[in-house]
Structure 1
Amino acid sequence: MIDKSMDAGSMTVVAVHGIQGTSASWKSVAEACAAQASFICPNLRGRADALRGQGPGDYRLSRFSQDLLNITRNRLDDRPFILAGWSMGVSVALEYLQHNDRPQPCGLILLSGSPRPGVASWFRQQGDELLVEIAEREKRLNLAMAADHQAVAWTWEELQQVDHTASLESIRLPTLIIHGDADPDSPLEHARWLSEGIRDAELRIIAGAGHSLLTENTAVVAQYINAFITKLYHAQERP
């Protein structure tokens, strides 16, 4: 529950990047939402200055979820927080929520993601051709900073069998889902799987938007996030 003595500007958002992104992915949205919240944007393993794994097993969602746990325990000081994820960050957030013994968020924001990332069309190749495809997608998404290509390949290998569909109904958090209706990587159907599975989730669809919502649709995304944060506080103020 949100502490009513806090104002909206003191809310913390822990924001998780995508499979090829880094903490830089959230920079423009964090700046646009600065009046409403402060953002903690960690680099998961294999990204920027974070630790490197030695093989696919080091890039399972359970390992990313553990990275996220270290952040919530070490940097939040028991402050309430919203958990946000973009693209693969959605899968990391959903994995994190399956563990009730961890610090739990007071709200959830999911962008451009899927409960079944293995059936999304992020990549189609294997082996050396996959590494080439990763480099090409990096350019297409116009990522300011990008993850190590081998780390991405191993992460994608581990995501193939992930399916959070059955666990969505157990989520009892105010949830905002933002998705572009022209997303070629996670088609709109994936957002509907999320919104239909999570009780009372709010789905916001951005017309004509693709996968890179954080950088290409910053103003609209920030508007929806700011409104969501305000709604959380107003809900707590009701008797």
Structure 2
Amino acid sequence: MTRTSMETGRMSLLAVHGIQGTSAAWSSVAQACATQAHVICPNLRGRGNALRGQAPQDYRLEAFSGDLAQIARQLDGPFILAGWSMGVSVTLEYLRRNAGPQPCALILLSGTPRPGLAPWFSERGDRLLKEIAAREKRLKLAMAADHQAVAWTWEGLQDVDHSAALADIQLPTLIIHGDADPDSPLEHARWLSEGIPNAELHVIAGAGHSLLTENTAEVAQHINAFIAKLHHAQERP
């Protein structure tokens, strides 16, 4: 995959899915951005064909960011790190821990610096597993994470707060959010955009949480324009 990126001159975009999604969540946007970037969409542990954890600690953000670092080390040249929903939290944790090669820019969609305050789930135990199944249907996830993996992941997100670390992010950052998002209300995007010095926020009117699949064209338009701007900046003498 690295060779393809180098041969075409396209920038790599490492795209991270959400708490219940898999790499398939990015498929439509990846296709729409194929001329601008070589998009790599891995499955986090407990999703798709990735390894399975055996206990709650296997699904902490620290573990996810470590997995992401292994993938990033296989890339050659500059890359953009992108996250949707919980993928934003994984991205922020990756940066906070300086876990691997550092990206040249960020793309954050439908995310939050404080996932424990996002109303993704409210139940516990067996009721949580049923709630996870219901949310999976509501978000129309064709491919979804193991329910137990989601439950353990949610448990590990409760006390996460990346707010204080946002000011340390000195990277061009594109934030895309829907103003009708019930899972990460718009104020969560404002926390991100106001905390990251070089962030630009684009709000999609009437859009909910599933931006990647329900607002593919507009999301891809913003991402392609952002990547073009990065290319232009790199070409300056």
**Identity %, equivalent residues:** 76
Match of 1:45 in 2: 45
Change (3 A) 1:132 1:222: same
- Give, in angstroms, the shift of residue 10 of structure 1: 1.0
Q: Deviations over 1:58-96 (max 9, x none)?
A: 1000000001011011x31x3210000000000000000
> 1:150, 1:216 → 2: CA distance?
27
> 1:8, 1:127 → 2: CA distance?
49
**Alpha carbons 2:70, 2:100 under 8 Å: kept:** no
Match of 2:56 in 1: 56
> 2:200, 2:191 → 1: CA distance?
12
Which residues of structure 2 form unaligned runs of 5+? 1-5
Q: Deviations over 1:105-129 (max 9, x none)?
A: 0110000000000000000111100
Please report the RMSD computed on the Cα atoms of aligned residues, expressed in angstroms: 1.3
Change (3 A) 1:151 1:101: closer
Alignment TM-score, normalising by the size of structure 1: 0.94
Q: 2:168 aligns with which of 167, 170, 174?
A: 170
**Alpha carbons 1:8, 1:36 under 8 Å: kept:** no
Q: Deviations over 1:112-170 (max 9, x none)?
A: 00000000000011110000000000000011200000000000000000000000000
> 2:109, 2:64 → 1: CA distance?
18
**Alpha carbons 1:8, 1:233 under 8 Å: kept:** no
Which residues of structure 1 form unaligned runs of 5+? 1-5
Aligned residue runs from structure 1 range 10-49, under 5 A: 10-49=10-49
Quick check: 1:223 aligned with 2:183? no
**Alpha carbons 1:18, 1:88 under 8 Å: kept:** yes
Q: 2:155 aligns with which of 135, 157, 160?
A: 157
Alignment TM-score, normalising by the size of structure 2: 0.95
SS at 1:14's partner residue?
Answer: strand
- How many residues end up aligned between the 2 structures? 232
**Alpha carbons 2:22, 2:144 under 8 Å: kept:** yes
SS at 2:97's partner residue?
Answer: coil
Q: Deviations over 1:171-230 (max 9, x none)?
A: 000000000000000000000000000002000000000000000000000000000000
Aligned residue runs from structure 1 range 72-91, under 5 A: 72-73=72-73, 75-76=74-75, 78-91=76-89
**Alpha carbons 1:9, 1:38 under 8 Å: kept:** no
Counterpart code for 2:121: F
